[in-house]
Structure 1
Amino acid sequence: MQHCGSSDAKTNQYIKEFEIPTPCSQPLSIISDAEGKIWFTQTNTGKVAKFDPESKLFTEYYNDQWSLNSASMMWGIAYTEDNEIWFTDEKNESLWKFSISEEKYSKFQIPAKTKKSFPQKIGLYNDNFVINDFTGSQIVILNHEKLDEGKFTNATISIPEGFFTSQAVIDDKGNIWFVMWKYQKEVILVKTNSITQEVEQHTLPDSIQAPNGVSVGSLGNIWIADTAGSSFYKFSPDTKKVLEYTTSKPSISTYGNASGLIKTPITRPYWNAFDSEGNLWFNQQTGNRLAVFNPNSESLIEYDIPSKNPTWSDCGDLTDCGISQSFGFTFKDKQVWFTEWVENNIGVLDTSVKIPISLETEKGEIVIKQGEQQEILVTVTPQTSQSMNVVLFGNSNSELIKINTKLEPTHISEQAMQIPVTIFVDENAHQGIYKILLGTQIPDVSVSTYVTIKVI
């Protein structure tokens, strides 16, 4: 049950899940093709599989070259215009190609700089694959056309041994960005240009401990997901400044805490990517959510995933408790498709379903002196005819900034309502800019907005 699923596929008002026919396939990375079919890797079988959203049918393609008796993490996947699925394989230290028309697999060994390579995420830029070698001290760049011709010629960006590498991405100026990091020791954002050979390195805050997901926004900002906590970060190449955004706290139904030993539950943002409308999506590994952040409005929507596997949490005798270990996700029109690694499901999130309420604050930035407090008003505006009771919560990345909200519910029906929130800044809080989160949990989704606090 721990790795193979604990229940049947489930559905809520935003998400529908589909159970994979082969038991214990452990789906991981996922992508859509030009015809709208959904493709995903199975870490426990070595197969790629296809799902047709119209017929609701799965097709799983046997891999006759697969010889492993254990699972291999296939973190990265790409679809090319010549109708091929490419995916990474850490156990075999390889990049695989699956020809959709020929239904044939091909394998390419990734040369190791150190004892073992660990090809992880894969990006496709101008017909070149960019792959981070997670533990192999390199970023690997491979030409797709030459691989199709059977020629394995690669360029690498070497990093010092002992560092992990994050996902690598390329901005619109041709710069490659990635993070090299040592857990709880060093975290360095690297920018390199293969044409000019220029390299920049930026030391990131100590609060970032396991930066896995990296993506580039429309304004050139670099967004980083930290899997060791509950935050994601924005790095501005112009100002060289870093801003931290914390998520809402995980629901107790995800971590359980039957033992009472979990004092600070975290959501673990893992991978991130921008959709076609400029919204930043990321999965919360232990929050059991898919989240979307709007950089313009600085609003956050966190969708609850229905399935939960209790063997990955401190559930005890609790029912409807646990996490599905959702990692991979991809975009198709107004839908977000994703995998559930330990529930043997894929799922689809329909973003066209209206969120019942929206939140906003009266001021974009609030200045508070050390040791003082300030009350602000949060406006809750109904977006549908659905009425509900709303209780606000607050979350901060600093223990020295306290957020007090009303304990009594506010009934929301047809008119917008304002709810007071008090923000207290401890006299020992460092001066600077903070992003605090104000939100509410309603059925199947959490709705929040960020407020900028300037401590002086």
Structure 2
Amino acid sequence: MPDRQTTASITEFAVSDAEAGPYGVTTGPDGALWFTAVHAGRIGRLALDGEVTSYALPSATGGPSVITAGPDGALWFTEFQGHRIGRITTAGEVTSFTLPTPGAGPFGIAVGADGALWFTESGADRIGRITTDGEVTEFPLPLTGAFASAIAAGSDDRLWFTLNQADAIGAITLDGEVTVHPLPTPGAAPVGVTAGGDGALWFVEIGAGRIGRITTDGRIDEFPLPDPECRPHAVVDGADGSCWFTEWGANRVGRIGHETHEIQEYDLPTPSSEPHGIALGPDGAVWTALETGSLARVEVHD
């Protein structure tokens, strides 16, 4: 089936200078967009009226990466270079939790069905769990050098994560039992993953230019993008029966239908803006963090 022709209204909101590096983005419990500034060591907030607030972290070199809304009304984030998990209230109060494993390299983070935050340890081949009062548990993976990346809560109460260097998708139960599903495409290098509204997990293959789908019983489908060099990076479930993703190498965002598997792509207005994280905003639009210093709001007209 040929892809439908749709148009999108894209508005960019400057939230930092070009050196700060907006990277991860999520919707906060206060109805604002919260984002990480990976190079500046800051957490930012963008209200829907355009007001920007920025909060410094204790270390400017921690490399805050992925951010998510926690079950406690605060935002939780990973510090990839600082080997910490951070928490920030909507009033800007920051707490940091140093991980017990040196060089852990936490990257992805998501809320589990048990009300704890689960995260990947890219540098230590582990999956971590932290309660809202800061208690950390770590679970080893059955692979070495796999570079666990993004993580998402599945419809089966397991946490699903990408293994970037192992070309695989993993799942972990709340008790720490790990299952690994190798991908059919060599060099897929999956990064982002999200729970789809269809009950499956959707992921992006940055190395192969594909979107992947895996059911909770392990069946995998892959969908090639028109440009195999587009470098898809992050993915989120939308409110329109689609999953949305960033194309870091092609300066675009795209979407793929849960049922139709139709793909639409939309060019970002600023050249080489480096789209990374992507989130469903409080206004129903899709928002993406542009490392060159902005958040972009994408609204599609079908």
Do they superpose with TM above 0.5? yes
Aligned amino acid, residue 221 of structure 2: L
Give the drift of 1:277: 4.1
Give the drift of 1:228: 0.8
1:88 aligns with 2:78: yes
Give the aligned partner of residue 224 of structure 1. 203
1:245 aligns with 2:245: no
Give the drift of 1:199: 4.5
CA–CA separation in structure 2 for the residues paired with 1:170 and 1:21: 31
The 1:31–1:179 alpha-carbon spacing in structure 2 relative to 1, beyond 3 Å, is: closer
Normalization by structure 2: what TM-score? Answer: 0.87
Give the aligned partner of residue 399 of structure 1. none
The 1:268–1:157 alpha-carbon spacing in structure 2 relative to 1, beyond 3 Å, is: same
Give the aligned partner of residue 301 of structure 1. 264
Give the aligned partner of residue 243 of structure 2. 280
Aligned amino acid, residue 279 of structure 1: S
Give the drift of 1:286: 0.6
Matches of residues 161-180 of structure 1 in structure 2 within 5 Å? 161-180=144-163
Aligned amino acid, residue 53 of structure 1: L
Give the aligned partner of residue 28 of structure 2. 33
Aligned amino acid, residue 123 of structure 1: A
1:135 aligns with 2:141: no
Per-residue deviation, residues 40-72 of structure 1 (Å, max 9, x unmatched): 111222121222222x22122233x2253xxx5
- The root-mean-square deviation of aligned C-alpha atoms, in Å, is 2.4
* Matched residue SS, 1:45: coil
CA–CA separation in structure 2 for the residues paired with 1:201 and 1:67: 35
CA–CA separation in structure 2 for the residues paired with 1:232 and 1:21: 30
* Matched residue SS, 2:41: coil
Give the drift of 1:78: 1.4
1:344 aligns with 2:254: no
Contact 2:244 2:254 in 1 (8 A): yes
Contact 1:226 1:270 in 2 (8 A): yes
CA–CA separation in structure 2 for the residues paired with 1:206 and 1:81: 36
The 1:141–1:278 alpha-carbon spacing in structure 2 relative to 1, beyond 3 Å, is: farther
Per-residue deviation, residues 198-257 of structure 1 (Å, max 9, x unmatched): 54433321334311122233443332211112111223445x5432211122xxxxxxxx
Matches of residues 208-223 of structure 1 in structure 2 within 5 Å? 208-223=187-202
Contact 1:28 1:73 in 2 (8 A): no
Give the aligned partner of residue 51 of structure 2. 57
Matches of residues 63-102 of structure 1 in structure 2 within 5 Å? 63=57, 65-68=58-61, 72-80=62-70, 82-101=72-91
CA–CA separation in structure 1 for the residues paired with 2:52 and 2:28: 15
Aligned amino acid, residue 226 of structure 1: E
Per-residue deviation, residues 356-376 of structure 1 (Å, max 9, x unmatched): xxxxxxxxxxxxxxxxxxxxx
CA–CA separation in structure 1 for the residues paired with 2:253 and 2:160: 24
The 1:273–1:13 alpha-carbon spacing in structure 2 relative to 1, beyond 3 Å, is: closer
Per-residue deviation, residues 396-448 of structure 1 (Å, max 9, x unmatched): xxxxxxxxxxxxxxxxxxxxxxxxxxxxxxxxxxxxxxxxxxxxxxxxxxxxx
Give the drift of 1:22: 4.4
Give the aligned partner of residue 270 of structure 1. 233
Contact 2:171 2:179 in 1 (8 A): yes
* Matched residue SS, 2:150: coil
Give the aligned partner of residue 374 of structure 1. none
Give the aligned partner of residue 273 of structure 2. 324
Aligned-pair identity in percent equals 19
Give the drift of 1:290: 1.0
Give the drift of 1:304: 0.8
The 1:47–1:207 alpha-carbon spacing in structure 2 relative to 1, beyond 3 Å, is: same
Larger radius of gyration: 1
CA–CA separation in structure 1 for the residues paired with 2:293 and 2:168: 36
Structure number with greater CO (CA < 8 Å, separation at least 6) is 2
Contact 1:167 1:212 in 2 (8 A): yes
Give the aligned partner of residue 10 of structure 2. 15
CA–CA separation in structure 1 for the residues paired with 2:20 and 2:8: 26
Give the aligned partner of residue 160 of structure 1. 143
Contact 1:188 1:204 in 2 (8 A): yes
Structure 1 alignment gaps of length 5 or more: 1-11, 250-264, 309-322, 356-456
CA–CA separation in structure 1 for the residues paired with 2:196 and 2:56: 38
Structure 2 alignment gaps of length 5 or more: 1-6
Aligned amino acid, residue 110 of structure 1: L
Give the aligned partner of residue 3 of structure 2. none
The alignment of Structure 1 onto Structure 2 pairs a total of residues equal to 294
The 1:203–1:61 alpha-carbon spacing in structure 2 relative to 1, beyond 3 Å, is: closer
Give the drift of 1:82: 4.1
